[in-house]
Amino acid sequence: MVLPDKPVRRSALRWLAFLFFGLALLFAAIAASAGDMFFFRLGTEALIYGGLALSVDMLLGKTGLLPLGQALFFGFGAYVSALVLKNFAPSFWLAMLAVLVCTTVVGFIGGVIAIRAKGVYFALISFGLAQVVSKVVFNTRQLGASDGIIGVPVPKISLGLITVDAASAGAFFLFVLLVIGILYASISYLMETPFGRQLSAIRANEHRVAFLGFDPWRYKLAAFVLAANVAGLSGALYPMLRGFISPDLMFFQVSGNAIINVIVGGTGTLIGALYGSAILTVLRSVVGSFTEHHQIVIGVIFVVSVIFFPKGLIGYLIPALERYWVRKGVTN
């Protein structure tokens, strides 16, 4: 029996990634032909939450850290973006730069506090940090308190030869698809570097990594900060889509949904985070049109996935694709 090797697995994951973005473009074509902007906005929301799920999978699937408070950085990025767009200049690039700098600082501080703990204690500390910050934002009048920030101006995004108007649902969907594609490709590449392999080694056996002379804490801190950046940059797109933000973006439900998206899609695959987010965001919308208790349906799906499909959607598709690539003689 010929066992699939790592290059074959990469081929399978690459094919699934191309399939996802191809399906997203097909979705855009169908939505454009239907002339219904709701589908574009729903798809854009799924992609934005997919970015948050990518950051969760970086920690959960690649490093072995369960981030119960990842919504902290998602919401933080949304607030920084909204404040820059509303109070300084409606500049996409200025907002994203501000988010990148701020999430790096906040991610470093949060990481220094949380990374010292392990296992469930890390999860609880990350949860606690998110709860504290969300409550502070919820009670801060200058940040809109419970009402959040409304009336966020929609920027025009200059890409050199072309300008994307974020007010155009179709154009903004394609732009967000490009951003999420760049984030996914960057993270995937990073996980294949020595840094990424060290994270995988830490997830497998942290004590052995330390015995070999590496400092697991520094690697985990770097991963935590990078995941904060990804979550923050994804969150920065939210006020451009909705025109407002609220403290709800930092609540545990957002973190919990992102974790569910990752597990349903396939933990540790990265592309599974995007599939899971797309499927469950659409499902929430469909079920929500019939009942306000859509979270019950999502909860049932999560329980069924964990019990009967613990590897997630992509986790079960990869072996079939690996066997196909082996039969075809694909090695890279």
The whole-number average pLDDT for the span 77-95 is 93
Q: Which of 282, 287, 233 lies closest to 42, judged by CA?
A: 282
The DSSP letter of residue 161 is S
- What CATH number is attached to the domain comprising 140? 1.10.3470
Note whether 211 and 142 are within 8 A (CB): no
Note whether 110 and 125 are within 8 A (CB): no
Domain annotation covers residue 1: no
Domain annotation covers residue 62: yes
The DSSP letter of residue 2 is P
Domain annotation covers residue 252: yes
Token look-up 């996802």 returns: 20
The whole-number average pLDDT for the span 98-118 is 94
Domain annotation covers residue 109: yes
Inform me whether the pLDDT recorded for 317 exceeds 60.
yes
When pLDDT is cut at 50, 70 and 90, the band that residue 5 belongs to is: very low
- Please give the full DSSP string across 266-315, using - where no structure is assigned: -TT-SHHHHHHHHHHHHHHHHHHTT-S-HHHHHHHHHHHHHHH-TTHHHH
Q: How confident is the model at residue 329, as a pLDDT?
A: 61
Inform me whether the pLDDT recorded for 23 exceeds 70.
yes
Cα-Cα-Cα-Cα dihedral of 140, 144, 146, 151, to 10°? -160
Domain annotation covers residue 99: yes
Domain annotation covers residue 240: yes
Inform me whether the pLDDT recorded for 66 exceeds 70.
yes
Inform me whether the pLDDT recorded for 102 exceeds 70.
yes
Q: How confident is the model at residue 248, as a pLDDT?
A: 92
Q: Please state the domain count of the chain.
A: 1
Q: Which of 11, 159, 28, 133 lies closest to 74, judged by CA?
A: 133
Tally Cβ neighbours within 10 Å of residue 113: 13
Q: How confident is the model at residue 2, as a pLDDT?
A: 37
Q: How confident is the model at residue 4, as a pLDDT?
A: 44
The whole-number average pLDDT for the span 85-108 is 94
Inform me whether the pLDDT recorded for 64 exceeds 70.
yes
| Tens of pLDDT, residues 257-308 | 999 999 999 999 999 999 999 999 988 888 877 777 777 887 888 888 888 8
Q: Which of 79, 74, 62 lies closest to 138, judged by CA?
A: 79
**Residue 206 CB contacts under 8 Å (≥ 6 apart), including other chains:** 64, 216
Q: What is the pTM of this model?
A: 0.92
| Whole-angstrom distance, CA of residue 200 vs CA of residue 211 | 16
The whole-number average pLDDT for the span 162-180 is 93
| Tens of pLDDT, residues 190-236 | 999 999 999 999 998 888 888 888 889 999 999 999 999 999 999 99
Domain containing residue 76: 6-328
Helix (H) or strand (E) holding 9: helix 6-34
Domain annotation covers residue 241: yes
Note whether 269 and 15 are within 8 A (CB): no
